[in-house]
Amino acid sequence: MNNQLHELLKQSSARHDHLCPRQVLGVRMGLAGLAAIGLEAPMPHKAALVILETDGCFADGVEVASGAVVGHRTLRIVDQGKIAATFANVESGQTVRLAPSLDVRQRALKYAPEIKKKYYAQLKGYQIMPETELFTFQEVKLEPALKLIISRPGLKAKCANCGEEIINERQVCAEGKVLCRTCAGERYYNSLEITL
Ligand SMILES: [Zn+2]
Ligand SMILES: [Zn+2]
């Protein structure tokens, strides 16, 4: 195992009190994903947008390796419940989605034949397998487009229904009104408030 990987796994596992195969996948995906869009890890300031398809241990691995963070708006989660992530180069626009090879668990065992327990064989195998065996790489186009996701600082709108402020051009136009997504029906909660 090289020093960079060792150091990153240490950082990731320190957040958890354990090192698990998903963190290894995350760290390796963070490194491989940036390389696939022509960037070194950790990314130069705001050079990439990383979209994770799940949260949890995997996400921490990608974070420590890529340097993507929510606070810099370089990290987002679109929760599809998958160990996968898409890496977009903000300058060139090149965008690549990485996911583990479908048979990655089986393949990992071959790299650690001396280890009987599958979990530990995967933990080790994932650290030493070549990237091309570990992941599939797919060129993709973001929808909505990268520019719209990043938007511009300082833009503000006000929802005609709830009155709340909306930043980053996340408002929608419906029936001639400017609405927040929640009021337009794209909601992740229902109000329990009793209206008198
Ligand atoms: Zn874990
Ligand atoms: Zn609203």
- Residue at a domain's end among 133, 148, 163: 148
- Residue at a domain's end among 148, 165, 188: 148
44, 57: one domain:
yes
Q: Which domain holds residue 171?
A: 151-196
Do residues 88 and 48 lie in contact, with contact meaning Cβ atoms separated by under 8 Å? Answer: yes
Res 1: pLDDT: 62
59, 125: one domain:
yes
170, 73: one domain:
no
Closest CA to 87 of 60, 53, 127: 53
| DSSP letters for the chain | --HHHHHHHHHHHHTTTS--HHHHHHHHHHHHHHHHTT-PSSPSTT-EEEEES--SHHHHHHHHHH---GGGT-EEE---S-S-EEEEETTT--EEEEEE-TTHHHHHHHT-TT--SHHHHHHHHHHHS-HHHHEEEEE---SS-HHHHH--TT-EEE-TTT--EEETT--EEETTEEE-TTTTT--S----PPP-
Q: How far is ligand 1, taken at its centre, from the CA of residue 60, in Å?
A: 9
Q: How far is ligand 1, taken at its centre, from the CA of residue 6, in Å?
A: 16
Q: How far is ligand 2, taken at its centre, from the CA of residue 129, in Å?
A: 48
User: Look-up: residue for tokens 């799940």?
Assistant: 54
Q: How far is ligand 2, taken at its centre, from the CA of residue 173, in Å?
A: 11
- Confidence grade of residue 195 (pLDDT, cut at 50, 70, 90): low
114, 96: one domain:
yes
125, 157: one domain:
no
Q: How far is ligand 2, taken at its centre, from the CA of residue 69, in Å?
A: 27
- Which tens digits make up the pLDDT trace of 55-98? 999 999 999 999 999 999 999 999 999 999 999 999 999 999 99
155, 62: one domain:
no
124, 58: one domain:
yes
pLDDT at 196 over 80: no
Q: How far is ligand 1, taken at its centre, from the CA of residue 21, in Å?
A: 7
Q: How far is ligand 2, taken at its centre, from the CA of residue 192, in Å?
A: 16
123, 155: one domain:
no
User: Look-up: residue for tokens 């990439």?
Assistant: 48
Residue 34 sits in a domain whose CATH number is: 3.30.1330.130
Closest CA to 87 of 57, 61, 66: 66
41, 137: one domain:
yes
- Which tens digits make up the pLDDT trace of 107-159? 999 999 999 999 999 999 999 999 999 999 999 999 999 999 999 999 999 99
20, 80: one domain:
yes
Indicate the number of domains in the chain.
2
79, 158: one domain:
no
Q: How far is ligand 1, taken at its centre, from the CA of residue 55, in Å?
A: 11
113, 162: one domain:
no
Q: How far is ligand 2, taken at its centre, from the CA of residue 182, in Å?
A: 6
pLDDT at 20 over 90: yes
